[in-house]
Amino acid sequence: MLDQIERHIRKHAASWGVELSPPARMRALLRANPEHDGIVRDISTGQVGTLIFWFRSEDLSPFLVSKIVSPSLTADAIAECTSLQETANRRLGYNLFPKVHAVAEIGGARIIFMEAVSGPNYEIQLARAAFGPERSVKALQRVVTHQFQELGTALRDLQATAFSDARVIWGAQAAAYARSFLELCPEARSIVSDARIAAMTELIDTVALRTHFVLTEDHLTNYLPGPRAVDQLVPDIRGVCDRWPGPVSGLRILVAFFRAGPLHEAYADYSWADALASCLFEDSRVEIIGAPVRRFLDDIGLGSASPQLVWAFVTGVFFIRACQELEFHADNLIAKRLRSEFLEFTRDVIRIGDALRTSVRGKIGGLVVPRLHGDHLDGEFRDREHMDFFSPQAQMLTEFPGWVGPAVRLQRRIRERHERLYAVTRWIFRSLLDRFRQPPRK
């Protein structure tokens, strides 16, 4: 099949505006969806198929991406998605969504040809900042701030693409998702009573939300960097945009960050719901991730909403996520484990909702305020307490150059000129340091 796709690219590259001189040798890098490891019966995930990154022999980055999608994503659906994306890009004045050059049927499969975008995706960036040899609290803060800022800006800009001025009262939909969730996970009936659903609906119905072109894909395991992580090729895109108004789309991304991404693992000892709640509502104690998250909340238009209302939305979004995951994995090996996980999450979400009932922002009682996992972040917190000039973190935590010693100055110089050498040196230094350190303080 690769031969056929290559021939197609050679034939049409010029019309797509892709430069490809005929003698150039093309090489293909295949990337499959890692989630397919755990999927047993339903292998047609539709949205995330096999990606093929195309390289010209002389290039060090791909010049084109082709994507083999499952037949569930019809040509009409792709055409509609593409047209909506182009409209959104035009209204925004810049290309938020990657350009889709063409769609073709090759060898019995549907292939999408797309613009290639370089750079690690959000998930990899976050994972490296929190778990890589280059990990540090400052790096994590930098990455989280950048990502939420980028996403917040994208979502704010997308409000300019509103389909109409009509506003949606979303409570009934949230309640419908809650009931669907209870059907998929009947054990949760003892936790989510009708009264609770009614209370959530009532709170959500106090605001009317505009619908516009939203970021539909909340998985972080996508392949493009930045907000363009979203390729938006969803079969019923218009319906999705109608059902999930802008702020709901934003909260879906937020829940995904805490539920499934590296942040979830950085808070390994705590529930993701506690981590999210403390970032949203605790002004003073969790600045590393909390500040960017609260700015993101401002960007999606819920900055001035009460904690109770924000959490009612988060609860509704949680039910969407639960329904999606449980339906998708209904026949798969992990279905049972997933149901019990979501039962626990439901307890957490409801408990936090109860704790917020009588609170105001900044003065929350009864909330668990998780700390980032000290082991994963390799002693950054310990270094704050026992810092010396030889601590690799010292140069990041000390603000003014005059205050640091020669070792730290040397590190800074190396980092400026030789970034990779610096990263390796730092990792070696940390490994040696770890041998003599005390076990982490819990």
Partner 1 sequence: MELLMTETVPPPKSRWLDIYQCPDCGGALAKNPDKWECAGCHAQYPVRAGVPLLNPGVSRSPGFVGVMKRDHDQPDTFIHDAEKRGWEAALRSIQMPGEPDRLIEAVAPNRISWRHVAGLEPSSLVIDIGTGTGGVACQLAAGCSVVAVDRSFIDAAFVAVRASQSGLHSLDSIVADGSRLPISTGVADLVTLIGVLEWVPTDFPDRDPRESQLDALREARRVLKPTGRLYLAIENRAYFGYYLGAPEPHARLRYVSLMDREAADRYSRETRGQPFLELTHSLPEYRSLLAEAGFQRVESYWLYPDYRLTHAVVPVDEAGIARWYTDQHLDPRRHRRPFEQSLYSFFRFSPPDFMAHSVRDYGFVACAASPEQHA
Contact footprint for partner 1 (CB under 8 A): 1-3, 27-34, 36-40, 43, 50, 52, 55, 57, 59-62, 68, 107-108, 118-121, 123-124, 127-128, 131-133, 135, 223, 262, 265, 333, 420, 423-424, 427, 431
**Quick one: which of 204, 200, 352, 196 has its CA closest to 279?**
352
Which string of b and e fits 328-358 if b means at least 16 CB within 10 Å?
ebeeeeeeeebbebbeebbbbbbbbbebbee
DSSP class of 168: E
| Distance in Å, CB of 223 to partner 1, minimum | 8
Closer to partner 1 by CB, 52 or 280: give it: 52
Look at strands 64-69 and 50-56 and give their pairing.
Answer: antiparallel
Extract the tokens encoding 389: 């000039």
Closer to partner 1 by CB, 28 or 407: give it: 28
Closer to partner 1 by CB, 389 or 427: give it: 427
| Distance in Å, CB of 101 to partner 1, minimum | 19
- Name 64's bridge partners: 54
Closer to partner 1 by CB, 55 or 345: give it: 55
| Distance in Å, CB of 272 to partner 1, minimum | 16
> Tokens 């319906």 identify what position?
239
Give the Cα separation of 137 and 139 in Å (integer): 5
- Name 360's bridge partners: 363
Give the Cα separation of 102 and 427 in Å (integer): 44
Sequence-distant (≥ 6) Cβ neighbours of residue 334 within 8 angstroms:
38
| Distance in Å, CB of 50 to partner 1, minimum | 7
Closer to partner 1 by CB, 107 or 303: give it: 107
| Distance in Å, CB of 4 to partner 1, minimum | 9
Closer to partner 1 by CB, 50 or 149: give it: 50
Burial of 436 from C-beta contacts in 10 A (0-12 / 13-18 / 19+)? exposed
| Distance in Å, CB of 120 to partner 1, minimum | 5
Closer to partner 1 by CB, 14 or 40: give it: 40
Give the Cα separation of 193 and 93 in Å (integer): 47
| Distance in Å, CB of 226 to partner 1, minimum | 13
Extract the tokens encoding 379: 């002693």
**Quick one: which of 352, 1, 71, 357 has its CA closest to 199?**
357
Give the Cα separation of 111 and 431 in Å (integer): 46
Closer to partner 1 by CB, 79 or 333: give it: 333
| Amino acid making up residue 39 | I
Extract the tokens encoding 361: 């922002």
| Distance in Å, CB of 254 to partner 1, minimum | 21
Closer to partner 1 by CB, 79 or 424: give it: 424
φ, ψ for residue 363, nearest 5 deg: -130, 70
| Distance in Å, CB of 273 to partner 1, minimum | 21
